[in-house]
Amino acid sequence: MLTQNNPPQYDQKGYVPPPQVGYGHTQVVQSQPVGGTTVIVQQPIIQGKRDWHTGVCDCTEDCGICLCATFCGPCFLCQLATDMDENCCVALCVPAPVLVLRTKWRTQNNIQGDICDDCLLTSLCGSCVACQLAREVKMARENITYQSR
């Protein structure tokens, strides 16, 4: 079910703003700039990665996306890439386009997971992962949220 109540906040391009950055880890970097000084750099630690708004198997949350992905895969992937501000050729010319697009979105929106999770999920159930990604992008573009039943 789609609702307009309490939608996540997105910026102009449809991305969730990054969480607050905390400083808690200090890394000493040895360098030899002019004068041979030691530089101490504080590395920011990103706190509070979020989950995906919908699950991989929540295809019934948006049947239009599911039907388009099932019956018109190449067109669906081209539209998804375009909605993510990527060239449509990513969907047609890049090996494993769903993996590439998912990893990009996950990284830009500070979503939990890693490349290993992305590879595993896209290789086992690529269509469902593509639908999940399309729902996330749609939520960002239209500023809507899905509510589980």
Tell which residue, 143, 144, 11, 129, has the closest CA to residue 77.
129
- Confirm whether 98 is domain-assigned: yes
Q: pLDDT tens for residues 66-84?
A: 999 989 989 999 999 999 9
On whether the CB atoms of residues 107 and 15 are closer than 8 A, the answer is: no
For the chain, helix (H) and strand (E) counts, in that order, are: 5, 4
pTM more than 0.85: no
* Residues of the chain scoring pLDDT < 70: 1-47, 144-149
Residue 95 lies in a domain: yes
Nearest to 80 by CA among 55, 60, 100: 100
Shortest CA distance to 53 belongs to which of 96, 3, 119, 92?
A: 3
In a domain, 101, yes or no: yes
Domain count for the chain: 1
pLDDT of residue 59: 84
Q: Is residue 109 part of a domain?
A: yes
Which amino acid belongs to residue 7?
A: P
Containing structural domain, residue 78: 59-146
